[in-house]
Amino acid sequence: MSTLEIDRVRKTYGNLEVLKEVSISIGTGDFLVLLGPSGCGKSTLLNMIAGLENISGGEVRIAGKIVNELSPKDRDIAMVFQSYALYPTMTVRQNIEFGMKIRGVPPAQRDKAVRAAADLLQIIHLLDRKPSQLSGGQRQRVAMGRAIVREPKLFLFDEPLSNLDAKLRVDMRTEIKRLHARLGTTIVYVTHDQIEAMTLATRVAVMKGGVVQQLDDPQTVYDRPANVYVAKFVGSPSMNIIPGKIEVEGGSATAVIDMANRQAVRIPGIHLSSQAASKYAGRKVLIGIRPEMFSVGNGQAQGAISIEVDVVEPTGADTLAVFQLGGVEVTARLPPKQVNARASATLAVDRSKVVLFDPDSEELIN
């Protein structure tokens, strides 16, 4: 268990800059998820924490100690790989105890550690099998067992669930969460799946093109995304980003969305710092509204929006209604059977949660 500080870390391959001054700091027992699309440098960063890749610039500190020059085995870490990377010729038991053997742990102690880990992961009955005789989920458990017996300061997971089918993925996700609760070890976890990030993390670092876009707890990332990219990447269906403008009157801000052939939609009572209010008064902004911030409203209420529903997509628990607003396609998550396709409807917006972005920089306006 320990803290992890990634301090202005850079990675270059020749002229190609893969990571640009990445800084992330997490505390003991944190579950950090590195979230981003494929190719954004997540694995590279994880490998640098592990010591499997050289650090081109900056510092990595584990428990306050600079580890830049330490080899993987001296960093007190354990890692679970996407392909599980089980040693194919060894049995499950040999796989799990390989690291301990190398460190010269005596056989009795090794056996005890293997049993404890296998017990925790419910793989006792598999100990004498070869990896080729295991299912994907079982291999995944063995890979975690190999990491657990290390009792490391830091667990590193590189997309550990992406090779599993959907059902198993959800089960193993819960299992990893339970494991973290049980062991309390600091974890760095790489994924491109925003649901994994939301469900597992205590801290999420959203990455794009080798740059951390936002580092926050999952709820903050969801509610107040640092920029349009994060807003669209996290959440499904993603946040609606609607062009509009801000009008400020007597300290109260109103978001105005122009409609092509109808009266403009006005959403009053937007939270805005006085500084931002004076800066953006009368200017264009991007208005961010998550699908579930819409609700079915009545025509008289202030800020009610009349729309023509294009498409209705029932998901069972609720229904997604797609319509045009401010010249873009917008999705609302509504209770089932409240609106119909090709019919008009009146919606209300939970204005307390509406967020605004600068139209040029696409950064969140506070």
Partner 1 sequence: MANALAQHKPIDEALPRKTRIRFGRLLIYGPLCAMAALYLMPLWVMVVTSLKPLDEIYSGSFIGLPQTITLDAWRAAWSEACIGTECTGLKPYFANSLLMVIPAVVLSTGIGAINGYILTKWRFPGANLVFGLLLFGCFLPYQAILIPMARTLGLLGLAGSIPGLVFVHVAYGICFTTLFFRNFFVSLPDELTKAAMVDGAGFFRIFWSVILPTSIPIIVVSCIWQFTQIWNDFLFGVSFTSGGNSPMTVALNNIVNVTTGRKQYNVDMAAAMIAAIPTLLVYIVAGRYFVRGLTAGAVKG
Ligand X SMILES: Nc1ncnc2c1ncn2[C@@H]1O[C@H](COP(=O)(O)OP(=O)(O)O)[C@@H](O)[C@H]1O
Beta bridge partners of 62: 4, 65
Rule CB under 8 A: choose which of 1, 59, 68, 98 binds partner 1: 98
| Residue 159 φ/ψ region, left for φ over 0, alpha for ψ in the -120 to 50 degree band, beta for the rest | left
Q: 282-319 b/e with 16+ CB inside 10 Å = b?
A: eeebbbbbbbebbeebeeeeebbbebebeebeeeeebb
By CB under 8 A, residue 89 contacts partner 1? yes
By CB under 5 A, residue 43 contacts Mg ion? yes
State which residue, 41 or 131, has the beta carbon closest to partner 1. Answer: 131
Shortest separation between residue 193's beta carbon and ligand X, angstroms: 12
Rule CB under 8 A: choose which of 9, 22, 60, 77 binds partner 1: 77
Interface of this chain with ligand X, residues 235 to 264, rule: CB under 6 A: none
Residue carrying structure tokens 């190398």 = 102
Is residue 84 within 8 Å of 143, Cβ to Cβ?
yes
Tokens of 365: 């306006």
Q: How far apart are CA 285 and CA 58, in angstroms?
A: 36
Shortest separation between residue 39's beta carbon and ligand X, angstroms: 4
44's contact among partner 1, ligand X, Mg ion, none, with CB below 5 to 8 A by partner kind, is ligand X
Binding mask 7-36 for ligand X (x = CB under 6 A): ------x--x-x-----------------x
Is residue 75 within 8 Å of 62, Cβ to Cβ?
yes
Q: In Å, how far are 12, 163, 191, 204, 301 from 196, measured between CA atoms?
A: 28, 14, 7, 10, 38
99's contact among partner 1, Mg ion, ligand X, none, with CB below 5 to 8 A by partner kind, is partner 1
Rule CB under 8 A: choose which of 78, 142, 215, 305 binds partner 1: 78
Q: How far apart are CA 212 and CA 210, in angstroms?
A: 7
Q: How far apart are CA 180 and CA 151, in angstroms?
A: 12
- Count of residues in contact with Mg ion, rule CB under 5 A: 1
State which residue, 206 or 272, has the beta carbon closest to Mg ion. Answer: 206
State which residue, 47 or 213, has the beta carbon closest to partner 1. Answer: 47
Shortest separation between residue 19's beta carbon and ligand X, angstroms: 8
Beta bridge partners of 177: none
State which residue, 137 or 225, has the beta carbon closest to partner 1. Answer: 137
Alpha helix (H) residue ranges in the chain:
42-50, 92-102, 107-121, 136-148, 166-183, 194-200, 218-223, 228-233, 274-280
Rule CB under 6 A: choose which of 6, 9, 32, 44 binds ligand X: 44
Q: Which residues would be at the binding site for ligand X (CB under 6 A)?
A: 13, 16, 18, 36, 38-44
Q: Which residues would be at the binding site for partner 1 (CB under 8 A)?
A: 47, 50-52, 71-73, 77-79, 81-83, 85-90, 98-99, 102-103, 131-132, 146, 150
